Amino acid sequence: MRAFIFPGQGSQTVGMGKALAEASAVARAVFEEVDEALGQNLARLMADGPIDTLTLTENAQPAIMANSIAALRVSGVDVGKADFVAGHSLGEYSALCAAASFDLATAARLLKLRGQAMQAAVPVGEGAMAALLGANLGLAREIAEAAAEGDVCSVANDNDPTQVVISGHRTAVERALLIAKEKGAKRAILLPVSAPFHSPLMEPAARAMEQALADVALADPAVQLYANVAAAPVSEADEIRRLLVEQVTGMVRWRESVEAMAAAGVDHFVEFGGKVLGPMVKRIVPEARVTSVVTMDDIDALVKEI
């Protein structure tokens, strides 16, 4: 069995999609449709930078989605070749676009809004996120609880058995950096992000997404989605709509999602548009086969394989 998976924020790089666009009219059409939907030249920003502007949440989110969908469409591989789709945080929107729950333009507009709403939810400098390396979910929760001291500090991403991300008020997250070392985490690293994603502080962004999602056409996906906050397969549009709202403040249960897909029989994970999730998958399910699809060579190899 096979799952198509889609990366989240942090996978953006200057030059992303440029070679695909130069080699394929299909890729160019994807980037042109996203540019038209957003009313901006995102493709040029992706190709040429600057990285600071590309990394802005409102740009990075639709850019990463566009790059993933371009890689999928250039491959010509039908989503029906997958038994499940899944994405990490914003990658869930890429997965739903791939599975025809909503169209490309809708995905782009939703992610632009999602990025803007997440940034606006907390004043710059008041929130932070940190990666705890060598810490499992239980230890990360213990560290976050000890660091909170009345502030918000909670687990944002359970990525794999050795990497968990916490999020919340900057003062609490900074306390967590010290507590993590005392409690045995190998490293604790403050992440270069501008807001405390996937924490209760994102509640205003969740309400903005609830309103936005209520107004868009959302179909049942062609392939079941393993949802971030449920770590379980969902196939009904209304349930997906609800979970996308919950995802804004909820924990990304990536480790559990991969474990559940593997338990369901998935032994091949294909990551479109990045090489970020593949290593996580291998740390979660070492025996799994992982294919990362970014370049034309990757696409050629995938087509031969599938």
Which positions are annotated as active-site residues? Answer: 89, 198
Q: Strand 187-190 to strand 2-6: parallel, antiparallel, or no bridges (unpaired)?
A: unpaired
SS3 156: strand
SS3 265: coil
For the beta carbon of residue 236, count every other beta carbon within 10 angstroms: 11
Query: Quick one: residue 17, left, alpha or beta (phi over 0 = left, psi -120 to 50 = alpha)?
Result: left
For the beta carbon of residue 156, count every other beta carbon within 10 angstroms: 28
Query: Quick one: residue 219, left, alpha or beta (phi over 0 = left, psi -120 to 50 = alpha)?
Result: beta
**Do the beta carbons of residue 202 and residue 114 sit within 8 Å?**
no
Handedness of CA 77, 79, 81, 84 (dihedral sign): positive
SS3 219: coil
CA 34 and chain centroid, separation: 18
**Do the beta carbons of residue 27 and residue 70 sit within 8 Å?**
yes
**Do the beta carbons of residue 269 and residue 290 sit within 8 Å?**
yes
